[in-house]
Amino acid sequence: MFSSELNPEQRDAAIKALASEEFDIIVIGGGVTGAGAVLDAASRGLKVALVEARDLASGTSSRSSKLIHGGLRYLEQYDFKLVREALHERELMVSTLSPHLVKPVGFLYPLHEKLKDRTYVGAGLALYDVLRGFQRALPWHKHLSAKKIAEIAPSLRQDIVTGAIKYYDAQVDDARHTMTIIRTARRQGATIATRVEVNQLLRDGKKVVGVEAIDTVSGKKIKVRAKSVVMCAGIWSDEMHANFGLTPGYGVTMSKGVHIVLPGHAVKSNTGIILKTEVSVLFLIPWGNQWIVGTTDTPYDGDRAQPHATSADVQYILDQANKVLDPQLKREDIIGVYAGLRPLVANTKGSATTKLSREHTTDRSAPGFVSIAGGKYTTYRVMGKDAIDLAVTDLRRLVSDSITEKLPLVGADGYFALVQQSAQIAREFNIDEKSVVHLLNRYGSLISEVLELIEDDKKLAKQLCEGLPYLKAEIVYAATHEGAMSVDDVISRRTRLAFEAPQAGLELVDEIASLIAPVLGWGAAEKKASIAEYRKQVSAEVDALAALLINS
């Protein structure tokens, strides 16, 4: 058993190992797909490394709707197999793999035409519940009268909503979950390094035998030898294939999806709401004391690393939600906004190398080189398994089957019992019970590591800012155990202050930098540079929100 900590010492050791050892598999990309692949490989007993060019989950995997769902829309396309697979994954996560992170969430599906809607939507939601099989971590759907809706969701317009059906899915802090999968892989012995960007493949004749990468912190080149390379680069897949001179059997196009974040009082409902739009669906998702509302779906060909929301994106979301809400959502209510890019795969006709498996595609375009793209967050574990199943053919030895279905993520063990003990933990560590519950839902049984920091320095038990539940200890922990290496890593992904706090959390940057500086060995210059980098990065989003208010 290895330590699951990700921190500067661990990264230094990982960089040395990458340069000096040979791996069975190297995984490119630390989004949820790469996370699924590295955990799958490590838990089969393979020697595996993962390299990520930026921070863990810094691509699409921190910018989703954060739902773990079967996908109601696939029912309309009669894709029952895909829905059943995703619902199976949802059950696994809620009950066994990551119950500390993946939580049930209820949604109202408002009905407009009494009989027709209730029959059609009711049949669909009954099928949705049936497809999950005998496992039942989430409640069954329920028909509600207009009177009941007025009680539980007074914000829904009573003049047009004649009834509703309530059903359940699950939600997750996507960036935290991806990082936790990667920590679990680390515990299984995987070598993990962020800020290592792959720019070429190593070849022996036609065979791929590793990668050439650059450590973007030191600027040094590293040659990493591996029997198989597994690329999980999402929206970066096309440019990477082109750069490597490989022709895969599929291409990846990008579609932008924007979400806005609103305070709790903006929507009066004690449950989530799903609305059918002309092109897709719009979710109003409870998020702590706030709401996440989205999403859009528009073609995109701009900067992959930093997609931004436009005024038109935000207006579309407001218009769709306001069709059924009273009081209406207002631009000045908006606290935050974020944009993400969907990796949509399309197969090249007649390709011999590609296997289109439901929504995701695995491809072996050269001996020793496998890639996977598409799919959805919910099915990350299946994607990881499919990629490694294909990659092990290059190892030329017997490798055991995937066991990730039976492998809870770090923090999951003992979680349910710890929830029962939250009052005792609160007394023992002199913090309020609400904070203990908050910590358990972010760290599970790893809460003991956060509490150790508080024992050593009581000041860290204080909240970072008013109105949001984060404790100062969590900011330090992000650097000591979760691989955060910058202000942006902490504010955008280890916490979600970038969209939960006003002004993208800009008021908190100095304190956050001061908390992580000793762990990261920063002097004044490094602190200043990390703060400036974050300010520059969020300026477009902050400006877009300000412009919206001026135009309203």
Is residue 61 a contact residue for ligand FAD (CB under 6 A)?
Answer: yes
Is residue 295 a contact residue for ligand FAD (CB under 6 A)?
Answer: yes
| Closest residue to ligand FAD using C-beta atoms | 31
Segment holding 527, helix H or strand E:
helix 524-551
Is residue 483 a contact residue for ligand FAD (CB under 6 A)?
Answer: no
Is residue 67 a contact residue for ligand FAD (CB under 6 A)?
Answer: yes
Among 125, 170, 185, 198, binds ligand FAD (CB under 6 A): 198
Helix axes 32-43, 174-187, angle to 10 degrees: 20
How many positions of this chain bind ligand FAD (CB under 6 A)? Answer: 39
Is residue 473 a contact residue for ligand FAD (CB under 6 A)?
Answer: no
Among 4, 10, 43, 65, binds ligand FAD (CB under 6 A): 65
CB of 200 to ligand FAD, least distance (A): 10
Is residue 30 a contact residue for ligand FAD (CB under 6 A)?
Answer: yes
Is residue 58 a contact residue for ligand FAD (CB under 6 A)?
Answer: yes
Using CB under 6 A, which of the segments 32-40, 114-122, 403-411, 463-471 binds ligand FAD? Answer: 32-40
Is residue 197 a contact residue for ligand FAD (CB under 6 A)?
Answer: yes
Among 29, 70, 408, 411, binds ligand FAD (CB under 6 A): 29
CB of 182 to ligand FAD, least distance (A): 11
Q: Assess contact for 248 and 241: CB atoms under 8 A.
A: yes
Is residue 340 a contact residue for ligand FAD (CB under 6 A)?
Answer: yes
Helix axes 422-429, 433-443, angle to 10 degrees: 110
Given the complex with ligand FAD, which of 284 and 506 has the nearer CB atom? 284
Q: In the range 417-436, which residues lie near ligand FAD by CB under 6 A?
A: none
Site string for ligand FAD, 495-524 (x = CB under 6 A): ------------------------------
Distances (CA, A) of 355 to 96, 207, 362, 364, 462: 30, 20, 6, 9, 52
Given the complex with ligand FAD, which of 60 and 435 has the nearer CB atom? 60
How would you classify the pairing of strands 163-171 and 103-111? antiparallel
Given the complex with ligand FAD, which of 61 and 184 has the nearer CB atom? 61
Is residue 361 a contact residue for ligand FAD (CB under 6 A)?
Answer: no
Buried b / exposed e over 149-177, threshold 16 CB at 10 Å, is: beebbebbeeeebbbbbbbbbbbbbbbbb
Query: How many residues appear in the chain?
Result: 552
How would you classify the pairing of strands 221-231 and 250-263? unpaired
Q: Assess contact for 296 and 316: CB atoms under 8 A.
A: yes
For the chain, the maximum distance between any two Cα atoms, rounded to a whole number of angstroms, is 72
Is residue 381 a contact residue for ligand FAD (CB under 6 A)?
Answer: no
Identity of the amino acid at 240: M
Distances (CA, A) of 91 to 98, 99, 123, 131, 384: 10, 10, 21, 11, 18
Given the complex with ligand FAD, which of 237 and 435 has the nearer CB atom? 237
Give residue for tokens 């956060």.
Answer: 450
CB-count exposure of residue 19 (10 Å: 0-12, 13-18, 19+) = middle
Is residue 235 a contact residue for ligand FAD (CB under 6 A)?
Answer: yes
Among 106, 210, 343, 368, binds ligand FAD (CB under 6 A): 343
Is residue 90 a contact residue for ligand FAD (CB under 6 A)?
Answer: no
Among 39, 40, 46, 59, binds ligand FAD (CB under 6 A): 59
Q: How far is Cα 97 from Cα 89, in angstroms, rounded to an integer?
A: 9
Using CB under 6 A, which of the segments 114-122, 309-317, 339-347, 503-511 binds ligand FAD? Answer: 339-347
Given the complex with ligand FAD, which of 340 and 408 has the nearer CB atom? 340
Distances (CA, A) of 427 to 244, 432, 436, 449, 451: 57, 8, 10, 17, 12
Q: Assess contact for 483 and 56: CB atoms under 8 A.
A: yes
Is residue 53 a contact residue for ligand FAD (CB under 6 A)?
Answer: yes
**Nearest 5 degrees, angle CA 418-CA 423-CA 429?**
90
Q: Which two tokens stand for residue 11?
A: 């990264």
Is residue 70 a contact residue for ligand FAD (CB under 6 A)?
Answer: no
Distances (CA, A) of 492 to 177, 354, 433, 509: 14, 35, 26, 11
Is residue 234 a contact residue for ligand FAD (CB under 6 A)?
Answer: yes
Give residue for tokens 């591996």.
Answer: 226
- Residues β-bridged to residue 208: 203
Given the complex with ligand FAD, which of 235 and 284 has the nearer CB atom? 235
Is residue 260 a contact residue for ligand FAD (CB under 6 A)?
Answer: no
Q: How far is Cα 362 from Cα 248, in angstroms, rounded to an integer?
A: 10
Is residue 31 a contact residue for ligand FAD (CB under 6 A)?
Answer: yes
Using the Cα atoms of residue 487, residue 492, residue 496 and residue 502 in order, give the sign of their dihedral. Answer: positive
How many CB atoms are closer than 10 A to CB 346? 12
CB of 58 to ligand FAD, least distance (A): 5
Given the complex with ligand FAD, which of 167 and 429 has the nearer CB atom? 167
Is residue 168 a contact residue for ligand FAD (CB under 6 A)?
Answer: no
Given the complex with ligand FAD, which of 277 and 328 has the nearer CB atom? 277
Is residue 87 a contact residue for ligand FAD (CB under 6 A)?
Answer: no
Given the complex with ligand FAD, which of 316 and 429 has the nearer CB atom? 316
Is residue 167 a contact residue for ligand FAD (CB under 6 A)?
Answer: no
Given the complex with ligand FAD, which of 65 and 98 has the nearer CB atom? 65
Is residue 286 a contact residue for ligand FAD (CB under 6 A)?
Answer: no
Q: How far is Cα 370 from Cα 390, in angstroms, rounded to an integer?
A: 7
Is residue 441 a contact residue for ligand FAD (CB under 6 A)?
Answer: no
Q: How far is Cα 526 from Cα 185, in angstroms, rounded to an integer?
A: 30
Q: Assess contact for 262 and 290: CB atoms under 8 A.
A: yes
Is residue 32 a contact residue for ligand FAD (CB under 6 A)?
Answer: yes
Is residue 60 a contact residue for ligand FAD (CB under 6 A)?
Answer: yes
C-alpha count within 13 angstroms, C-beta hemisphere, residue 515: 27
Residues that bind ligand FAD (CB under 6 A): 28-34, 51-54, 58-61, 63-67, 69, 197-198, 232-236, 240, 257, 295, 340-343, 375-378
